[in-house]
Structure 1
């Protein structure tokens, strides 16, 4: 790790100006940036400490029913917030699945959605892979047990965030502040595929900071659920995750609207319009849940060592749908 300085800006405008400089990296919870620095993937000359910026903190459920999550809000606070658990259940569940209690007490909403891929080639300081400016994604012919089964190419990383699929399922947007002012982007459109630029995972520009995530109010008829499968239950990133949001007609079992978003299967949180279409317009039962799971994975293209993820993903999607519908899942 190279030597660096820590700079604490007085306000958001100062932080933006600092982050527009080469070698300056944002520091919040610090979980990922310190890992990247120790692995020599990042070599910051300065860490811009965002912890003192009040504009980035806080959790608020507004009178309109809209949820505001400050980028610096702790994951433990999101997981334990009574109103989020009751009205935005998938978001609380996803935050509660992140890592360990110690990391949830330190990690932030912004840090979780902005964390970089956990691919072992990308994280290896001796490998100059495609994401680091090289010309090869070594997962294609190498060890690819944890890599993409959907949306891969030319790089086959998977997006590591637990929280992002749940936020997208609940139609969240991000507020971003930078040198050109403030802009808002739907979180589904914030993340970018390697076909856009294999070296980046999102649309943040130089000097820009995610300040908050806004989740619109949901009708009382909407129910949501987040579910993941992982190798270790103690502390691990998911092999596959899914967030489901269903809107059913009051007093009926007919699905009026659905959102199905998978994590850890693609370079971005992967929304499946095909699965959503399979759920809409009819009575929700196990056969419809199975059809939606099959539709969600119909375009899967597993690599040499990760075909097992297709099977797990189908099961996880089906179980999540059955759970949010209050039906017993096999």
Structure 2
């Protein structure tokens, strides 16, 4: 590991200024579970690591009449154990509890999980100068593609590694960012950037920007949500495929639906065709298997990841079936 300066700031504005002043040489650190591994692997070599640990208020989880405010420094353990999250936003609690090990969840944060870098082994290896590192080749396209994208990949077939992102997009979360130009808010799905937007990054964060918190709308009494994750081992592994679904049912009719896939695309992937098919449908007429087929209708598997299409289809079917049973 190369030496770096560690700066423990006390305000978001101080962090923002340090990041803006040295955009190329500074990195933000929260729990450190991702950044430190990147430094050890030689993927990044920052001059300065800016810590948010001493910034007040960024770890708060607040419930109110308009919904919830989740500080970016809240740990995954705090999210999975929060009573209101478990009661009203089940998909988020389930996603948080599925991440890695208890030890990692104790230090890993909401913001860090949303902003983590790809797990692609070509990106993570110093031996491969891939497109994510300024090269001209995505080695996974013709190489070992077992864990790579089947949807929306194009010239870079990473998958976004965040489980929380999948759940939060389906729960209509919004991200708030503080930066040199002030504070701005956006739908969380707009926070993520695919390779076609900017090959060198996975979010819309600009130099000096800090993700401060995520907001969730007030829950409807008729909303139900679920998160499901398929992985090779029952503990620690990243998702092969995941799904988060949130469905509102009243009087036997689906009034709203959000379905998001993880592990299949460079960003959390909204299954809009299936969502539209559910809108206004009578519960008795819904065919979950057909919705699962819609979820992967545009899939373009690579040599080693054909298994992801039926896996994603079946997870969507299971999630929709469960929620319609619960809401009936």
* TM-score under structure 1 length normalisation: 0.96
Runs of 4+ in 1 over 3 A off after TM superposition: none
Q: Deviations over 1:62-97 (max 9, x none)?
A: 133x11100000101100111111101111111110
The question of 1:6 aligning with 2:3 is answered no
- Tell me: CA distance 1:184–1:149, structure 2 relative to 1, closer, same or farther (3 Å): same
Whole-Å separation in 1 of the counterparts to 2:8 and 2:104: 22
> What displacement does 1:46 show?
1.1
State the partner residue of 2:95. Answer: 94
Distance 2:325 2:84 in 1: 20
**Pair 1:55 & 2:57 matched:** yes
What is the CA distance between 1:19 and its match in structure 2? Answer: 1.2
| Within-5 A mapping of 1:225-240 | 225-240=226-241
Unpaired runs of 5+ residues, structure 1, are none
Match for residue 246 of structure 1?
Answer: 247
Q: 1:81 maps to what in 2?
A: 82
The answer on whether the counterparts of 1:154 and 1:198 sit within 8 Å (CA) in structure 2 is no
> Cα gap change, 1:198/1:286 in structure 2, threshold over 3 Å: closer, same or farther?
farther
CA deviation after TM superposition for structure 1 residue 193, in Å? 1.3
**Alpha-carbon distance in structure 2 between the residues aligned to 1:290 and 1:11:** 50
Do the aligned residues in 2 keep the contact of 1:278 with 1:291 (CA within 8 Å)? no
Identify which range, 197-206 or 277-286, moves more after superposition. 277-286
Q: Deviations over 1:278-300 (max 9, x none)?
A: 22222335961111111111001
Query: How far apart, CA to CA, are the structure 2 residues paired with 1:87 and 1:264?
Result: 25
Check whether the contact 1:171–1:186 (CA below 8 A) recurs between aligned residues: yes
Q: What is the root-mean-square deviation in Å for CA atoms of aligned residues?
A: 1.1
- Aligned partner of 1:224 in structure 2 is 225
Q: 2 CA distance for matches of 1:284 and 1:305?
A: 37
Structure 2 counterpart of 1:110? 111
How many equivalent residue pairs?
324
Counterpart-to-counterpart distance in 2, 1:321 and 1:286: 13
Q: Distance in 1 between matches of 2:154 and 2:288?
A: 29
Contact 2:243 2:319 in 1 (8 A): yes
